[in-house]
Structure 1
Amino acid sequence: MAQLYFEYGAMGSGKSIEILKVAHNYESQGKEVLLLTPMINDRDGVGMIASRIGLKRPARVIEPDADLYAMIQKESASRQLAAVLVDEAQFLKKEQVDQLAQVVDALRLPVMTFGLKQDAFNELFEGAKRLIEMADKLVEMKTICSFCGRKATTQLRFADGKPQYEGAQIQIGGDEAYKPVCRYHWYHPDMAMLRKQGEA
Structure 2
Amino acid sequence: MDCGKSTLALQVDHNQSRQGRSGLLLTQGDRSVRPQITSRVGLAHDAVEVDDHTDLLLLVRSRWADGTRVDYLIVDEAQFLTPAQVDQLAELVDASHVDVYAFGLTTDFRTRLFPGTQRLLEVADDVQRIQVEVLCWCGAPGLLNARVVDGQLVRQGATVVVADTAPTPVPEADHTPGPEVHYQVLCRRHHVLGQLGPGAAGPGQLELP
* TM-score, reference length from structure 2: 0.82
In the other structure, the counterpart of 2:170 is none
2:148 to 158, 177, 180: 158
Of structures 1 and 2, the larger Rg is shown by 2
2:102 to 99, 105, 113: 113
Structure 1: which amino acid aligns with 2:61? Q
In the other structure, the counterpart of 1:8 is none
Per-residue deviation, residues 76-97 of structure 1 (Å, max 9, x unmatched): 4422322111010111111100
The Cα shift of 1:191 comes to 4.0
Distance in 1 between residues matched to 2:30 and 2:97, nearest whole Å? 30
In the other structure, the counterpart of 2:14 is 24
**Contact 2:30–2:37, Cα closer than 8 Å, also in 1:** no
2:119 to 113, 130, 140: 130
* TM-score, reference length from structure 1: 0.85
More strand by share: 1
| Fraction of identical pairs, as percent | 35
| Distance change (3 Å), C-alpha of 1:191 and 1:134 | closer
**Contact 1:155–1:180, Cα closer than 8 Å, also in 2:** yes
1:49 to 37, 42, 59: 37
The question of 1:180 aligning with 2:168 is answered no
| Distance change (3 Å), C-alpha of 1:194 and 1:171 | farther
| Distance change (3 Å), C-alpha of 1:188 and 1:70 | same
Per-residue deviation, residues 111-137 of structure 1 (Å, max 9, x unmatched): 110001110000111111110111111
Q: Secondary structure at the match of 2:160?
A: coil
In the other structure, the counterpart of 2:46 is 58
Higher relative contact order structure (alpha carbons within 8 Å, sequence separation ≥ 6): 1
Q: Is there any run of 5+ residues in structure 1 with no aligned partner, and where?
A: 1-10
Q: Is there any run of 5+ residues in structure 2 with no aligned partner, and where?
A: 166-180, 202-209
Per-residue deviation, residues 9-65 of structure 1 (Å, max 9, x unmatched): xx1111100001111111222221110112xx1530231111011111110121321
Aligned length: 184
Q: Secondary structure at the match of 2:62?
A: helix
More helix by share: 1
